[in-house]
Amino acid sequence: MFALKSKLLEFEGSVLPSAHYANLRVLPRLLRWPVRFLKRLLDGHIIIPKHAEGFGITAIIGGAVVYGSVMGGQFGVAVDSVTAKSGFAVSEIEISGNTHTTANDVFAALRLGEQRSLVSIDPDASREALKQLPWVGAARIAKVYPDKLKIDIEERDAFAVWQQGEALTVVQKDGSVIGGYAADARLSALPFLVGKGAAENGEAFVETVAKFDDLAGRVRAFIRVGTRRWNLRLDNGMTIRLPDEGLEDALARLTDLQNRHGVLDRDLAAIDLRLKDRTIFALTENAQESREAFVKARADAAKKERKERGSRI
């Protein structure tokens, strides 16, 4: 620090009294070398080589070219091509853990249809690319030199098929959408949820119905009504209307009715369990017509009997 003060005083061409030393400002350490270099350059103590300017311009232009290539992607393509031709081209790909994600999906996500070099593949970027695929929840990438790529996929757990309007999607237990539903035998056994809010609230309801084995095996759809209540659609087309509270009690009542009267096997359009003190049965259209025909026939028979009885008197 004393040497710097001395040079600064000498550079200014004056000698200050000792009283002024306390007021001198010292440059930060990082700036001292540039200041000294600039002073020597201005004093002519540093001689710039004859071709330094040309070399500097060339370096600047070359740097700009490299930067532009990197930003434009050409640099990576060049590295990929050179290393691939040097024996590091991906020639063997091992994929595991995929059920709904096809090999073609993986190839497209990682651009493996092109000539790719194992050197240029970034495992982190590859994992992120695979996680953009609908079914992929996590992925592990391993490069086995010189030419093998190992991919281990962990797929999302499908819970149900959800219908809202005309759209069908596959969802997880928390209601998050995995992707669009395509006819697939592996998904046919999933619960079928219908209506707004059914995906987010379906897990608890499906688990509750599953406690009643005889009923659960007949359910074809879990239908969300409004924001609080559910209906069940059975395999014979019957609708079970359930209350928003006391759900398990209502299902137990339905089970008892089935055990005693076989109501789920009757020609009924709906069974309404929303009231605690009564159960309401709605007949199908055919059953209603049959009932009306029966009532009419019985009334006609009674009328005929009364007429015959009157004639005998």
The CATH number of the domain where 227 resides is what? 3.40.50.11690
48 and 95 fall within a common domain = no
Domain range enclosing 259: 160-287
- Ranges in the chain, pLDDT < 50: 1-16, 21, 64-67, 69-70, 72-79, 82-87
Which residue shows structure tokens 């093998």? Answer: 148
Q: What is the DSSP letter of 99?
A: S
Please check whether residue 275 lies inside any domain of the structure.
yes
In a shared domain, residues 120 and 224: no
Closest of 119, 111, 121 to residue 146, by C-alpha: 119
Residues 177 and 107 in one domain: no
Instruction: Check residue 153 and give its pLDDT.
Output: 97
Res 183: pLDDT: 76
CA distance 162 to 207: 16
Q: Does the residue 301 lie in any domain? A: no
Q: Is residue 2 domain-resident?
A: no
Judgement on whether residues 134 and 174 belong to the same structural domain of the protein? no
Question: Do 199 and 168 share a structural domain?
Answer: yes
Instruction: Give how many domains the chain has, as a whole number.
Output: 3
Query: Can you tell me the distance from the alpha carbon of 43 to that of 129, in angstroms, rounded to the nearest whole number?
Result: 58
24 in any annotated domain: no
Q: What is the CATH number of the domain that holds 137?
A: 3.10.20.310
The answer, as to whether pTM is greater than 0.75, is: no
Q: Does residue 296 belong to any structural domain of this protein?
A: no
Full strand arrangement of the beta sheet holding 280-283:
177-180, 167-171, 160-164, 192-194, 219-225, 229-234, 239-241, 268-272, 280-283
Q: Do the beta carbons of residue 146 and residue 89 sit within 8 Å?
A: no
158: left (phi over 0), alpha (psi -120 to 50) or beta: beta
User: For tokens 């200041």, what's the residue?
Assistant: 35
Token pair recorded at residue 14: 């004056």
Same domain, 184 and 270: yes
pLDDT at 4: 39
For 164, the token pair is: 């809202």
Examine residue 72 and state whether it is found in any structural domain, yes or no. Answer: yes
Domain check: are 93 and 175 in the same one? no
Nearby residues of 277 by Cβ (< 8 Å), 6 or more positions away? none
Do 282 and 176 share a domain, yes or no? yes
Partners of residue 166 on adjacent β-strands: none
CA nearest neighbour of 134 among 163, 107, 170, 162: 170
Name the domain boundary from 108, 139, 155: 155
Q: Please report whether residue 57 resides in a domain.
A: yes
pLDDT at residue number 179: 92
Same domain, 104 and 208: no
